[in-house]
Structure 1
Amino acid sequence: MLSQAKLVELDEAAPLARAGQALTHAYFPTDCLISLLTHRVQPRCFEVGQLGYEGVLGAGSALGVSACAFDAVVIGAGRAWQIDLQRLRALCQASRTLSLLMTRFLYFELSQMGALAACAHFHSLEQRLARFLLMSLDRLRVPDLRMTHEALSLILGVRRASVTLAAGEFQQRGWIQYSRGHMLVLNRAGLLSTVCACYGQDLSTYEQVMQDVDWVKPPRTRR
């Protein structure tokens, strides 16, 4: 698959997909961060999915779905493997293992989207901000996040002033240091003490769904 892909640089805020429109390429991030957002033609939107090196943008399209269900925007600049969707579809058709991996990741995406939607409705802004920071740390694997309060307000679906207050509280507790669009995480344990159970649920679901190797074994044939 890598022989048919190319490594590309993705800039921060670059749009990769629009809701309802067909994708032309799939992206496998290596050190960038992609956010899936509800359709931004609405007055407000919020993040319903996030993926980094553990996932792929375009799993559904690779399996035959023509349109992307959400807006996809780069929120952490970096690199990704880009592959033409027609080529990826052909590879999925030729490889049962690859096709099953795509299906499994789609299941995880649906689980994450459901959890994020419930989280936005039931949990506090502090819990949601802690969850977003921890999810981003896991995927970028660096403690320094380039993120403005304006971008965070878009992702969390709240007013910018609310994000400023929540981030200021985290900074007073010594958990983060914020300046000029950078959030440096100083105390991961502090974030873990505040985050809702949804964060741990995501990790558990991913491990259960994606890292179980038994399901990729070909079925036995009767003689």
Structure 2
Amino acid sequence: MAQVSNLRIKPVGHHVINSNTIAALKTRLDETPDNRPIAPKALAGLHGHNPKHNGLLAALPAADYDRLLPHLEFVEMPFGTTICAAGEKMQYAYFLSSSIVSLLYETADGASSETAVIGYEGLVGVDIVMGGGASLNRAFVKSAGYGFRIKASVLKEEFARGGALQQLLLRFTQALFSQMAHTVACNRHHTIVQQLCRWLLLSLDRLPTNKISMTQDLIANMLGVRRESVTEAARKLQDEGLIHYSRGQITVVDRAGLEEQICECYTSLKKEYDGLLAANER
């Protein structure tokens, strides 16, 4: 296990989220976004987290990993934090270890929809190495946790070297684009129940528990549908004994049953991401 004593500890940046999302967040009963300034973390505050909890970093050869390690900064990522707004030039990329980040596309009238979700398997900030540097989506922390950030300039230099890191990031970018394409197709052609099942399973795949803390308002905001539609879909799943919903927390009671409800979008994506992780381990 690599040493983490040479990691620099910095707070993650904080931005104001859009008005629709703020309104949804205010309805949470069991959890509210942490809007306080994020204090620098002491090394003793790593809570057992290690950069190799991220799938991409874990897959790097030792020499590449050791070269990257001094540039990684351990950050806490509170729920509700926007780490980058759409159109904003990213100063950092984030290798997630236990947090989940939602990529949101927003329209001019304030409506939004989730285009992809990223967890321990990936990186927030592929825009940096793809040439532009400006984020195409708002990157929003939808499940609190931790991660390791790296300056955009350092990541670009490492990517330009070629080799393992470049190949890993290209494979992950392909998987991310595939997730976005499946999301567009699913939101256009499949039922709200199927969309909700896909959303729940994609979140569960990146969590160590079967519980998801999220209000129906926020789910509706991410799926780009009316809250009433989410309420009806959640009620159907609860009546069938697949989930239990109470006070902003969804507990998946029967995952196998939930998977039977799912459309082909989730199964195709899972196969692709499982292949990515398996390739990373080789």
Please report the TM-score for the alignment, with normalisation by the length of structure 2: 0.72
Q: Secondary structure at the match of 2:98?
A: coil
Q: Does 1:51 align with 2:129?
A: no
- Deviation digits for residues 94-147 of structure 1, max 9, x if unmatched? 342101111111111111101100100000000010011011000113111111
1:63 deviates by 4.2
Report the Cα distance in structure 1 between the residues aligned to 2:107 and 2:76, rounded to whole angstroms: 24
Query: Are positions 1:99 and 2:166 aligned together?
Result: yes
Residue in structure 2 matched with residue 89 of structure 1 by the alignment: 156
Gapped regions of structure 2 (runs ≥ 5): 1-67
Give secondary structure in 2 for the equivalent of 1:212.
Answer: helix
For the Cα contact (< 8 Å) 2:89–2:133, is it kept in 1? yes
Q: Aligned equivalents of 1:17 and 1:185: distance in 2? A: 30
Pairing 1:188-207 to 2, within 5 Å after superposition: 188-207=255-274
> Which of 112, 135, 138 is 2:202 aligned to?
135
Range 84-93 or range 66-75, more displaced: 84-93
**1:8 corresponds to 2:90:** no
- Look up the SS of the partner of 1:50 in the other structure: strand
**Structure 1 residues 40, 10: CA separation in 2 closer, same or farther (over 3 Å shift)?**
farther
Partner Cα distance (1:80, 1:88) in 2: 15
Write the mapping of 1:1-223 to structure 2, written as runs, cut at 5 A. 1-209=68-276, 211-212=278-279
Please state how far the C-alpha of 1:40 moved relative to its aligned partner.
4.8
8 Å Cα contact 2:84/2:139 also seen in 1? yes
Task: Give the partner amino acid of 1:193.
Answer: E
Q: Distance in 2 between matches of 1:148 and 1:175?
A: 18
Q: Quote the residue 1:220 is aligned against.
A: none
SS at match of 2:123: coil
Distance (Å, rounded) in 2 between the aligned partners of 1:65 and 1:106:
14
| TM-score, normalised relative to structure 1 | 0.90
Q: Distance in 2 between matches of 1:181 and 1:2?
A: 38
Larger mean Cα displacement after TM superposition, 188-197 or 172-181:
172-181
Q: Aligned residue for 1:221?
A: none
1:210 Cα deviation (Å)?
5.2
Instruction: Work out the percentage of aligned pairs sharing the same amino acid.
Output: 34
- Structure 2 vs 1, CA of residues 114 and 42 (structure 1 numbering), >3 Å: closer, same or farther? farther
Question: Does structure 2 conserve the Cα–Cα contact (< 8 Å) formed by 1:63 and 1:99?
Answer: no
Q: How many residue pairs get matched? A: 215
Over 3 Å counting, the alpha-carbon distance change for 1:7 and 1:188 in structure 2 is same
In structure 2, what is the Cα distance between the partners aligned to 1:213 and 1:139?
Answer: 17
Conservation of the 8 A alpha-carbon contact between 1:63 and 1:92: no
- The code of the aligned residue for 2:213 comes to R
1: distance between equivalents of 2:204 and 2:226?
A: 23
Task: Letter of the 2:88 partner, please give it.
Answer: Q
Corresponding residue SS for 1:66: coil
Distance 1:211 1:191 in 2: 25
Change (3 A) 1:15 1:41: farther
